[in-house]
Amino acid sequence: MPSDSVVTRILSGSLWLGLVGVATVAPPNRPDLGPWLEQMMLGYWIGEEAWLVAVFWLVGLCAAVAAGILGPDLRSRPVPAWPFVVGALGLGGFALLPWLILSGDRREAPRQAPALIGGRGWGVGCSVLSGAALGCGLWWGDPLGYLAHARGDGFAFVMTADFLALWLTMLLLVRRRSRSWMWLLAVVPVVGPSLWMASGRR
C-alpha cells in the first residue's frame, strides 16, 4: 500500500497536470488583462461581477492560508515551502502544488504552540478576509453570470480551475495535519481552513 507521502505526490501531480491542461484549452484572455488586473488589485470593482471579484481575492488569500497551514515547513529542508507559497500569491496552484510534488508533505502537525504564521491570530485574520470575499459573492453575485463570463475569458476560466485545485489542496493538507474531526471545516473553501487555524483545536 503506498505511503501518505506517495499518495500526496500523486494527487498533487494530477492536480497540477490538470491545471496545465485547463490552461492549454482555455479561451483567449481579455485584451485589457493587464489594466484590468491592476484595477482589481487596487479595488476598482464597479461594474464587475461580484463572484469574479470574490474568486479573484479568494485565490490570492489561498496563499496566506497555505502559509499558515505549512508554517512549520516554510523553512524546511531540503525543500523549503516559502518560495512556493510566495509564488502562489500570483500563480496559485501552479506554484504551490510543485512543493507538494517534491516534498510529499512528509511533516506531521507540530504539537508545540504555533508561531505567528499559522497561529490563531493568523487564522482569525484569514477567516475574516476570506469570509468577507465569500459573503460578497453569495450576496451580490450571479453564479450563472460568472460561469458565462468564465467560458469566454481565458483568465477567469483558468482562475476558476485554480480555485478548485487550491480548495482540494487545502482540504488535503488540513486532513493530513489534523488530529481531530476539525479537519471537516476545510470542506468550506478557504474559510474552512482559516477557521481550522483560528480554532486552535488541531
Q: Tell me: the pLDDT tens digits for 36-53?
A: 999 999 988 888 999 999
* Assessment of whether the complete model's pTM goes beyond 0.85: yes
Say how many domains are in the chain: 1
Cite the DSSP H helix spans in the chain: 4-25, 33-42, 50-69, 82-91, 93-103, 120-140, 143-152, 154-177, 191-199
Provide the domain limits for residue 99: 4-199
126-174 tens-digit pLDDT: 999 999 999 999 999 999 999 998 999 999 999 999 999 999 999 988 8
The pLDDT tens digits of the residues spanning 174-197 come to 888 887 888 888 899 899 999 998
- Contact (Cβ atoms closer than 8 angstroms) between residue 85 and residue 98: no
